[in-house]
Amino acid sequence: MDISVVVPLYNEAESLPELSAWIERVMKANDFSYEILFINDGSTDESWEVIKKLQETNPCIKGVCFRRNYGKSPALNTGFQRAEGDVVITMDADLQDSPDEIPELYRMITQEGYDLVSGWKKKRYDPLSKTIPTKLFNATARAVSGIYLHDFNCGLKAYRKKVVKHIEVYGDMHRYIPFLAKAAGFKKIGEKVVQHQARKYGVTKFGLNRFVNGYLDLATLWFQTKFGIKPMHFFGLLGSIMFLLGLIAVITVGATKLYNMYAGNHYTLVTDSPYFYLSLTAMILGTQLFLTGFVGELIARNAPERNRYEIEEEI
């Protein structure tokens, strides 16, 4: 099979017939063998009934219906597990992603050798309240990940099949799939300017809280990538530095008092100095951070994936 199109959706009953017909038209025009995987993320409208009706007229349509709403990442991960095509295309169900982009995305994967191609909605039909935070978010993601993409969160992406089979999308990590792919060893990541269309039906399902959560998820992903199997390198180093600074400060406070005593200068009790308590606090926090790294190492040592490595080829 050439292409699997994975479409996560939540309350998009109105747009599904048009989207399905559009994808089918593109596939037939380019003579692609394909499947469409609609992942219904616990919709409360008629989305699932519409999918079942569409499947009656097009056997290439498949569907999964969650019992409740879990989020976009679980929906994508479920679709990735079931995808059978050599190239996997993801797109949103709201008709803001154009299926006309599929042939070029497919060509970039199969002919130019990309592992992942991410869409870039260079011209957007979104309000400033959404576009400005998006630009800041993407700038931060580029700096942290080292992947130069303009639009990390674009729903329209193309993947080589082995990419989606070797990454796990969980929580709200769908925003950072390129980062996940890079961490799994897939480094040929490209970008394509794609058409962004104004929403035709319904309303957006995302609020401003996604930007706050996005930064927290980015910090989590960065830490897991850098220190996931070696937490002592982070907590141990930070704890050791803090403990040593506190120890040096305590010694300095004590030495200063002894010097003033023997020199006949005015001096106060060590416990009267605020620096003494700041030093003790630094030493306690340093010890706690070090122990956190130690416990993290014990957990990582017993993790089932501690010796799981991505092998590209073997002869």
What pLDDT, in 10s, does the model give residues 105-121? 999 999 999 999 999 98
Q: Average pLDDT for residues 296-307, to the nearest whole number?
A: 70
At residue 269, the pLDDT reads 79
- β-pairing verdict for 34-40 and 3-9: parallel
User: Is the CATH code 3.10.450.50 the one for domain 3-227?
Assistant: no
Average pLDDT of the segment spanning 173-180 = 89
**Cβ atoms of 231 and 296 closer than 8 Å:** yes
The pLDDT of residue 224 is above 90? no
Can you give the pLDDT at residue 84? 95
**Residue 27 confidence (pLDDT):** 97
| Residue 215 predicted with pLDDT over 80 | no
Give the pLDDT score at 28: 95
Beta-ladder partners of 118: 157, 191
Does 199 score more than 60 pLDDT? yes
Residue 87 confidence (pLDDT):
97
pLDDT digits (tens, 9 = 90+) for 49-104: 999 999 999 999 999 999 999 999 999 999 999 999 999 999 999 898 999 999 99
Task: Give residue 219's pLDDT.
Answer: 77
Higher pLDDT, 133 or 156: 156
Higher pLDDT, 275 or 306: 275
Question: Between 39 and 269, where is the model more confident?
Answer: 39
Q: What is the mean pLDDT of the chain?
A: 86
Is residue 136's pLDDT more than 70? yes
What pLDDT shows up at residue 315?
63
User: Is residue 189's pLDDT more than 70?
Assistant: yes
Residues 89, 192 contacting (CB under 8 angstroms): no
What confidence category does residue 24 fall into, taking pLDDT thresholds of 50, 70 and 90? very high
Q: Which residues pair with 193 in a beta bridge?
A: 120
Region 128-149 average pLDDT:
78
Higher pLDDT, 173 or 44: 44
Of the pLDDT bands very low, low, confident and very high (cuts 50, 70, 90), residue 314 is low
Please give the average per-residue pLDDT across 201-220, as a whole number: 66
